[in-house]
A and B are shown apart, each in its own frame.
Chain A
């Protein structure tokens, strides 16, 4: 075991690297060297990372198969837009409203459905996601199927980058805390962890609510980047997209979720040059990756858990794999 220092060197280095990336991109944007196309894909990357990391908390670490993530994203997006665009409040209030609304939706949906197991939970969450979409589609106040246009672009690079790091730090620390160990024990063996005195339902709901909350955050960032939201953007296929990222990265690996989010965003962008067979290639790549690497790119290994998991998590060695 290394000697305990107040601020370990690796932590400093990684913070510096992140700050470097941030400054570099910010410089490139301000100086106009990074064109719009790359900016959009960078932003999409950040949003995908938040979505994947938060879904990974539910699906990967808690082991509860949720197929309704796009629904929470929708709740967050709409809540934020109602605050910023319809009531003309500040972006921060919008973000808070998004987290609050999506977290609340997670609680309302999580409490009854998390009693279900496996595929029954999957279909129930999928159902709730679709119900959210249908409801949004039928409220004329928020534009019905046409959605809301003319949303101001508040999601600038500092916001996107900052909140992405914020999400990763919070979730990585949560997993590395005693809560996290309880959550993982639910995944590994529900009965055994119950016998150990862990209230499994509470921990499942906790993970679900936090996952939903960050999905809402991603939704808010999405809405304030792409100017327009409409219910059909958040259908069950969107949930599948997020799930694909999570599984591709490796269930239960935050690093994997981040890498896969970056990879998938770049892949989709690259495939755009073959518009006719784009989706066919995407499907083939998906099947091939799964057949040859069913545990995902990272399995459940992590990089740099020290840094992110350090801030308030207990300073123990990374959890043994599995």
Chain B
């Protein structure tokens, strides 16, 4: 039982990171129906910005976090303007290929610029403290990541449900034509969506840096893919779905490693995804909209 709880704690920290990345995936998908494969790489850029602001500028962890989120928000908007906007009226698969191109670009431009060497987050920026709670080991990093993720999610929920911008985002997502007729600036709304999604990814990137200490130019590929799976698991385009999907994915992976075998971890993660999709083809929270004829 103790071991199970310990595994649950492990799973929750991992899941929080997945959930944050998955949120960005799902927001972008919800609004322009694009699988933004570059999202994991935006997270990587965020991790690097965080790293440099700590290691070079000597800022503290919160300043680094905010700096990374702001830079990535700008990066996300820029990518959308350059690569995705010209394709808004083209086939979705063309946009998908562009996203793959952008993803390769971010990975390999960073690799070219900063060498493939991994960077090590300075330990002093966030010293580790361990707490023993009834036989369970919990570190301040676990708590930090979990709490920060939850705060960011609540903030996101607030923006989407309670602000005018959020309302505009929901409107564009629901029916773009109608939103234009209602006087909503679609371009602006899409930019804001990219900004928010990318800044969440940046936060996740800095968290990975703090939690696992190392970052490298290709670090975004696998978490990006996992987060995408998480987003689909919850029903892509649906924000609570991404959160639940992310946590589910984290816990699932930890449990498979803990009680099964790491060797089949990725296979099990995909297997569960496929099973869920077969039972519920639009993901856990997906609404079956039926077909418009």
Contact = CB atoms under 8 A, between A and B. Distances in A.
Direct contact between A and B judged by beta carbons closer than 8 A: yes
A134 B263 contact: yes
B266 A134 contact: yes
B105 interface: yes
B250 interface: no
Given A124-B274, A287-B101, A295-B90, A280 B264 contact: no
Interface residues of A, number: 44
Nearest to B221: A237
Given A191-B293, A279-B104, A283-B104, A290 B97 contact: yes
B107 interface: yes
B94 A279 contact: no
A280 B112 contact: yes
B93 A251 contact: yes
Interface in B242-293: 263-264, 266-267, 270-271, 273-274, 277-278, 281-283, 291, 293
A127 B91 contact: no
Given A112-B278, A295-B91, A135 B112 contact: no
B274 A287 contact: no
B71 to A, nearest CB: 20
Interface string B79-112: 0001100110011011111101111110111011
Given A65-B93, A131-B270, A290-B101, A123 B281 contact: no
Interface string A133-159: 011011000000000000000000000
Contacts, number: 122
Interface stretch (A44-52, A75-83, A114-122, A313-321): A114-122
A92 interface: no
Contact of A294 (B87, B104, B232, B282): B87
Nearest to B266: A134
Contact of A131 (B87, B90, B104, B271): B271
A86 B225 CA distance: 35
Given A112-B278, A127-B229, A127-B273, A247 B94 contact: yes
A291 interface: yes
A247 B225 CA distance: 21
B225 A236 contact: yes
B91 A251 contact: yes
Interface in B103-126: 103-105, 107-109, 111-112
A296 B228 CA distance: 26
A283 B283 contact: no
A64 to B, nearest CB: 11
B105 A280 contact: yes
Q: Is the interface of B mostly helix, strand, loop or mixed?
A: helix
A243 interface: yes
A10 B293 CA distance: 43
B273 A124 contact: yes
A116 B277 contact: yes
A119 B35 contact: yes
Nearest to A118: B92
Contacts of B277: 113, 116, 120, 123-124
Which of A116, A191, A280: most chain B Cβ within 10 A?
A280
Nearest 8 CB-CB pairings of A with B: A127-B270, A294-B90, A286-B101, A283-B105, A279-B108, A283-B104, A294-B94, A287-B101
Interface of B: 29, 35, 82-83, 86-87, 90-91, 93-98, 100-105, 107-109, 111-112, 225, 228-229, 232, 236, 263-264, 266-267, 270-271, 273-274, 277-278, 281-283, 291, 293
Given A116-B281, A127-B271, A240-B100, 20 more contacts: A65-B93, A116-B277, A120-B282, A120-B283, A130-B270, A134-B264, A137-B263, A277-B108, A277-B112, A282-B104, A283-B104, A286-B97, A287-B82, A287-B101, A290-B87, A290-B97, A290-B101, A294-B90, A295-B94, A296-B94
30 contacts: A113-B278, A117-B281, A119-B35, A124-B274, A126-B270, A127-B271, A130-B267, A130-B270, A131-B271, A134-B266, A138-B264, A191-B291, A236-B225, A243-B100, A251-B93, A278-B108, A280-B109, A280-B112, A283-B103, A283-B108, A286-B98, A286-B101, A287-B101, A287-B102, A290-B94, A294-B90, A294-B91, A294-B94, A294-B95, A295-B91
